[in-house]
Amino acid sequence: MHAEDHRAPFAGLRGRSPEAWFGALPTPCYILDERQLIRNGEILAGVAERTGCRILLAQKAFSNYDLYPALAPYLAGTEASGLYEARLGAEAMPGKEVHVFSAAYRAQDFPEILEYADHIVFNSPGQLAKFGPQAKAAGRSIGLRINPQCSTQEGHAIYDPCAPGSRLGTTRAQWDAAITPELLDLLDGLHFHTLCEQDADALEITMEAVYRQFGDVLPRMQWLNCGGGHHITRPGYDIPLLERCIRTAQDGYGLQVYLEPGEAAALNAGYLAARVLDVLRNGETDIAILDASAACHMPDVLEMPYRPPLYGAGDPGEKAYTFRLGGPTCLAGDVIGDYAFDAPLAEGDLMLFGDMAIYSTCKNNTFNGMPLPPIYALRRDGSLKCLASFGYLDFKCRLGG
């Protein structure tokens, strides 16, 4: 086995078929692979050990706290996008750091955020002026998110915080217009988050832009948080370049560097199992309707968009039979993608989608009254444990008393 093979989408099956592993489980259901989480954690911990950086779990991508004990030994703590994630990080990784960033904080939430978070990052000089003194008085480390105005993404404008007119981060022009000496004295660090599923070359380009625009400020800071979007655990990711970027910031400016990946922590560490409910043909297109929905159970398939890996399937035309896989909802666009198979699909066939630990359980929904899938853990010893199951009341209680 090659060193990186364990990070392939279905490596966690360990040579057994999906039916053998999960055939007895109700579908649709999520399965989170503890061994894959640990392997990701080991890779992240290696970067931290070799460079001295500190790596946080971005809970927006993966917030299944039952599995936090598998990741906790390898991480410095958690990153949160608001009060509830900050509380979850504090409760589920006790004794670890809790960082929080929000585009804007609500005054009624802020005192409770101070109870859980030790690092608080503001999005604008206005928010820094409004809440910074309160956070400083509480002994918290304070940061400001910057916008280096350096776009490195292609084809995913929805994920580009450096796009023109972005609401995220403070540009140098905004900084010069609003950061007074008093506000500067409040700051302990700077934060940027501009990447999305990218390699270290994009980070290197971005950090050069940060140095050009904010290099005069960095010597006054204690830390620099380089955000998320670093695909560190993906096969082929340039870890040596990442480590050189980290060392440049730490050695050149005397900064503690933080990274807060979400996907990298849980990449290829989960599955979504589904079964075929019906097959039909429309013109030249063979279609299979599954009991899993792209819109409800894997919303990034439509939002990103992307085509998730599917066990035993190939690209359209690559195998003898090509089917379009769709969900059971009324949304015409509830389509997972086109896949090729060795044999025609039939009612009851098990479909196993890979890389379903990230942006799935934390983003799913009950549109059309779709049930939320139960969540299972595939433990490191090969046993399966049900972590959560859902029913009608989970749908109903979101909508009223």
Q: Which of 149, 146, 145, 144 is closest to 165 using CA atoms?
A: 149
Compute the Cα dihedral for 230, 83, 72, 390 and give only its sign. Answer: negative
H-assigned helices in 199-316: 200-214, 239-253, 263-266, 294-297, 300-303
List, as one string, the DSSP characters of 97-139.
EEEEE-SS--TTTHHHHHHH-SEEEESSHHHHHHHHHHHHHTT
Cα separation, 92 vs 43, in Å, equals: 22
pLDDT band for position 401 (50/70/90)? confident
Residue type, 294: A
Average pLDDT taken over every residue of the chain: 96
Cα separation, 153 vs 396, in Å, equals: 40
The encoded tokens of residue 208 equal 């050069």
Q: Which of 51, 60, 41, 43 is closest to 99 using CA atoms?
A: 60
| DSSP 8-state symbol, 30 | E
SS3 20: helix
The domain 5-32+269-396: what is its CATH number? 2.40.37.10
Contact partners, residue 364, CB within 8 Å, separation at least 6: 296, 297, 298, 299, 372, 373
pLDDT at position 7, please? Answer: 52
H-assigned helices in 197-341: 200-214, 239-253, 263-266, 294-297, 300-303
The encoded tokens of residue 307 equal 């085509």
Contact at 8 Å (CB) between 145 and 166? no
Contact partners, residue 157, CB within 8 Å, separation at least 6: 163
Cα separation, 294 vs 362, in Å, equals: 14
CATH superfamily of 52-266: Alanine racemase (3.20.20.10)
- Of 149-163, 287-301, 356-370, 371-385, least confident by mean pLDDT is 149-163
pLDDT at position 27, please? Answer: 98
200-221: per-residue pLDDT in tens? 999 999 999 999 999 999 999 9
Strand pairing report for 223-225 and 189-191: parallel
Cα separation, 347 vs 186, in Å, equals: 62
Question: Is the bond preceding 374 in cis, omega lying within 30 degrees of 0?
Answer: no
Cα separation, 239 vs 47, in Å, equals: 8
pLDDT at position 25, please? Answer: 98
Q: Is the pLDDT of residue 63 over 70?
A: yes
Contact at 8 Å (CB) between 91 and 115? no
pLDDT at position 2, please? Answer: 29
Contact partners, residue 384, CB within 8 Å, separation at least 6: 22, 25, 31, 376, 377, 378
The encoded tokens of residue 288 equal 């299979």
Domain borders along the chain are 5-32+269-396, 52-266
67-108: per-residue pLDDT in tens? 999 999 999 999 999 999 999 999 999 999 999 999 999 999
